[in-house]
């Protein structure tokens, strides 16, 4: 197994670096697909793709920031075609649960003629410690729209463990795998949980989606990220498919998915939520 040539595209990201860790535990040293790796892989420069894919048999693919954004479909189409031409046998694609636009990217992989898995994941727990919700938590004031929408947050560690398993094993070939946490919770619930485990007095303020998006623009957040956040809030969170718990983590790993409380208890030990904010 340690002779397999595996490329992890997005190998320094939230799930990618965890997939790398999982593979290393199995004695596999995967190739990292990133702009800082050697050979380089850069989504924005197709000239880097050939060297990154050379000699590779299996790839795990994450597209930043999301498969739903304009241009993602064309990038996935080009990568999939090139991968097959260069002899890649299997592709595991990380997708978003309930994202209609992302399904166009999924279909490219499904119809490629390669072995594949599609992993449709719900919102990550780690959005609160490694992504755009971290700063509000550290500041002590979380301002968000749609505070009462139920979300089955899923842990990136669980995603990576599933991804590495299906990448290496042929048992699940051709499956669309949906990953959620074991419970439905709201943004308000999340802030309450983090407040309790970190022993901090966090203030939650609900605003309209329109005001939230306008605030992001005033903060000069990149336009593609603003578009993505608006899309996720207005289309994905409200999709009934995203308010269902799926047991694929338990089916594949033989254990329960991690709860948000478990994640929060582990994360608070790192001190990430108790940073000192200098004004």
Q: What is the pLDDT of residues 25-70, one digit of tens each?
A: 999 999 999 999 999 999 999 999 999 999 999 999 999 989 999 9
Residue 23 φ/ψ, nearest 5 degrees: -65, -40
Query: What's the confidence (pLDDT) of residue 279?
Result: 47
Please, which pLDDT band fits residue 17 given cuts at 50, 70 and 90? very high
Q: Exposed/middle/buried for 170, CB within 10 Å: 0-12, 13-18, 19+?
A: exposed
Which positions ≥6 away from 171 have C-beta within 8 Å?
none
Annotation: CATH topology of 6-122+155-180+242-258: Rossmann fold (3.40.50)
Across residues 188-194, what is the average pLDDT?
A: 98
Query: What's the confidence (pLDDT) of residue 269?
Result: 97
pLDDT for 278 beyond 80: no
Across residues 72-87, what is the average pLDDT?
A: 97
Query: What's the confidence (pLDDT) of residue 3?
Result: 52
Query: What's the confidence (pLDDT) of residue 242?
Result: 87
Domain boundaries in the chain? 6-122+155-180+242-258
Q: What is the pLDDT of residues 260-276, one digit of tens each?
A: 999 999 999 999 999 86
Distance (Å, whole) CA 67 – CA 103 = 8
Q: What is the pLDDT of residues 87-122, one digit of tens each?
A: 999 999 999 998 888 999 999 999 999 999 999 999
């Amino acid at each position: 197994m340690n002779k397999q040539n595996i490329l992890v595209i997005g190998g320094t990201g939230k799930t990618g670096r965890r997939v790398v860790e999982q593979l290393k535990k199995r004695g596999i040293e995967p190739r990292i697909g990133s702009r800082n790796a050697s050979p380089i892989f850069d989504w924005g420069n197709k000239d880097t793709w050939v060297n990154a894919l050379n000699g590779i048999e299996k790839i795990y693919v994450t597209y930043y920031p999301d498969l739903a954004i304009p241009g993602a479909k064309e990038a996935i189409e080009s990568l999939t075609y090139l991968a097959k031409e260069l002899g890649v046998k299997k592709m595991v694609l990380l997708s978003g649960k309930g994202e209609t636009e992302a399904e166009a990217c999924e279909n490219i992989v499904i119809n490629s003629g390669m072995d594949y898995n599609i992993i449709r994941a719900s919102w990550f727990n780690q959005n609160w410690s490694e992504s755009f919700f971290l700063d509000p938590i550290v500041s002590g004031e979380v301002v968000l729209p749609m505070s009462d929408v139920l979300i089955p947050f899923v842990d990136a560690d669980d995603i990576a463990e599933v991804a590495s398993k299906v990448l290496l094993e042929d048992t699940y070939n051709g499956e669309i795998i949906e990953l959620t946490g074991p419970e439905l919770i709201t943004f308000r619930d999340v802030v309450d949980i983090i407040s309790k485990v970190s022993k901090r007095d966090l203030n939650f303020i609900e605003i309209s989606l329109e005001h939230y998006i306008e605030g992001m623009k005033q903060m000069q957040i990149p336009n593609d990220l603003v578009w993505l956040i608006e899309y996720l809030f207005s289309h994905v969170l409200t999709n009934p498919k995203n308010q269902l718990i799926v047991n694929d983590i338990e089916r594949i790993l033989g254990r329960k998915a991690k709860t948000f409380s478990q994640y929060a208890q582990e994360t608070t030990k790192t001190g990430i939520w108790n940073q000192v904010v200098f004004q």
